[in-house]
Amino acid sequence: MDAWSRYGSPLYLLLLHANFLDEPPERRHAFARQFLDAATSLPDRELGYWLNGSWREQLTAAWIIAARRLPAFRGVIGERLLASATCYAGQGFSVATARYEDHPASDALTLYLQSYLPVGDREYDQEWAVGSLVWLDARLAADRAARFLKAPELWKVSEHGRELGALDPGRGVARVARAMAFLDELGASEVS
């Protein structure tokens, strides 16, 4: 069985939107065991392959990199976040970027938000990026996310000048906070 079939395929749908957070406790614990197994078993080389795959592989690799805080992937994670070239992968890239817990990570998330707000017709992973920046601000005693949160007009979704609704940055903040708590619970020593 190849690495994707063994480790990635069973995880990616639960990593998407951090769906694992909404699972019943028994299923969430089973997911945590599977995720921990993947995070501690996959070599960096395999994660590098996954980062060149589809959104499924990229999302899964980014979450594992977030859990392990792998410095070798910092550059590619930041590049992929800013490029926003595939759907959904930016969720993982946002979380992975914030997990480095430093000012360059804050700069990368801020640059992403500056590039993709106002939303307009580019409904990507802005909620995840702002949630990650809020989480990171708390660790760095910073307040870089505030300007994005205070401007509701930045979050309006539109197409051809017609307003279609808005993204909810508060939803991103809450979701990322819960996802980060999950990663913290796994414990850095277990996934290093």
Query: Per-10-residue mean pLDDT for the chain, 192 residues long?
Result: 94 98 96 96 97 97 97 97 96 98 98 97 96 98 98 95 94 98 79 56
For the chain, how many structural domains are there in total?
1
pLDDT at 66: 97
How much is the pLDDT for 191? 58
Q: Looking at residue 187, what is its pLDDT?
A: 73
pLDDT score at 170: 97
Task: Determine the Cα–Cα distance for residues 67 and 1; give it in Å rounded to an integer.
Answer: 24
CA separation for the pair 192, 42 (Å, rounded) = 11
pLDDT at 119: 96
Per-residue pLDDT, 188 = 47
Distance CA 145, CA 14 (A): 27
- Per the structure block, which two tokens stand in for 90? 């930016």
Task: Print the domain residue range for 132.
Answer: 3-191
Indicate the pTM of the whole model.
0.95
